[in-house]
Structure 1
């Protein structure tokens, strides 16, 4: 049951990230010259954190 909840939570996180990516792609570019760099850094941090969570719960994917 716990594995199902973790899988479900990860699926929701992934779906939310996809929605954010789509919103960023549709949004007009802001005047912040560092926005893309900060966005890329945030994506990297989220990916690393999800990898840590996968390792913690033993997900081989």
Structure 2
């Protein structure tokens, strides 16, 4: 995988994480105004955190792969 493709992938991942954050904040705001359940918000926050951890792990794997390819 070329450096340009990796940089592009990282950019897309970061953009996705920003969209997830915005959606979570938006949902949190609308849930706070409406009669939504706090259990659903907690569930979504947990899913969000799990996705963040998975993305972070993927980035670590990409870093390791790049380090191996650069040797």
TM-score band, normalised by the shorter chain? 0.5 to 0.7
Q: TM-score w.r.t. structure 2 length?
A: 0.61
Matched, 1:36 2:45: yes
- Counting only pairs closer than 5 Å after superposition, residues 39-58 of structure 1 correspond to structure 2 as 39-58=48-67
Per the alignment, residue 5 of structure 1 pairs with: 5
Report the TM-score, using the length of structure 1 for normalisation: 0.67
Q: Which residue of 1 aligns with 2:21?
A: 21
| Rg larger for | 2
Question: Which structure features the higher share of helix residues?
Answer: 2
Can you give the 5+ residue segments of structure 1 that lack an aligned partner in the other structure?
A: none
Please give the per-residue CA displacement for 1:12-61, whole angstroms capped at 9, x wherever unaligned. 21112112211211123453242222221221122112211221123xxx
Name the count of aligned residue pairs.
Answer: 58
Q: Which has the higher contact order (CA 8 A, sep 6+)?
A: 2
Instruction: Please give the root-mean-square deviation of Cα atoms over the aligned residues, in Å.
Output: 2.1
